[in-house]
């Protein structure tokens, strides 16, 4: 007869699974955090589409959003740094998305 082992706390297994599922690239981390950082309204009008050398490009639905978010750039970067740490971009570039979002 084998001995039954006591159950292990689920917290440790959950933390390990979340760590394995966490985004591996800076762009993936940014895309995952974006809606929570900027809110529903902005997330519906702008989305991260690329990242290169610390600069993230955000595609916006129209020029007004691109301009508005550009003026909020420093605030957005600070929020992103708090949320995703070292994977946060160093700069944000906003452009109008000519395709369908």
In a domain, 31, yes or no: yes
Region 11-40: mean pLDDT is 83
pLDDT tens per residue, range 48-101: 999 999 999 999 999 999 999 999 999 999 999 999 999 999 999 999 997 754
Q: Which of 6, 23, 25, 26 is nearest to 80 (CA)?
A: 26
Q: Is residue 81 part of a domain?
A: yes
Residue 51: inside a domain:
yes
User: Which residue would you say has higher pLDDT here, 4 or 73?
Assistant: 73
pLDDT of 72: 96
Is residue 10 one of the residues assigned to a domain?
A: no
Beta bridge partners of 70: none
> Could you tell me the residue range of the domain that residue 81 belongs to?
25-96
Residue 57 belongs to a domain: yes
How many domains does the structure of the chain reveal?
1
Q: Is the pTM of this model over 0.85?
A: no
Return the exposure string of 49-64: e unless at least 16 CB atoms fall within 10 Å of the residue's CB, then b. Answer: bebeeeebbbbbeeee
Q: What is the CATH number of the domain that holds 56?
A: 3.30.300.180
pLDDT surpassing 90 at residue 20: no
Higher-scoring residue by pLDDT: 85, 5 = 85
Residue 86 lies in a domain: yes
- Contact indicator for 51, 87 with CB cutoff of 8 Å: no
Position 76 in a domain: yes
* Position 79 in a domain: yes
pLDDT, mean of residues 18-45: 88
């Amino acid at each position: 007869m084998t001995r039954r082992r006591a159950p292990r706390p689920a917290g440790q297994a959950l933390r390990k699974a979340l760590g394995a599922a966490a985004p591996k690239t800076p762009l993936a981390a940014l895309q995952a955090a974006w809606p929570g950082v900027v809110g529903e309204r902005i997330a519906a009008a702008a989305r991260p589409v690329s990242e290169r050398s610390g600069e993230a490009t955000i595609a916006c639905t129209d020029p007004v959003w691109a301009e508005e978010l550009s003026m909020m750039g420093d605030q957005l970067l600070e929020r992103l740094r708090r949320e995703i740490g070292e994977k946060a971009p160093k700069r944000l570039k906003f452009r109008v998305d000519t395709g369908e979002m």
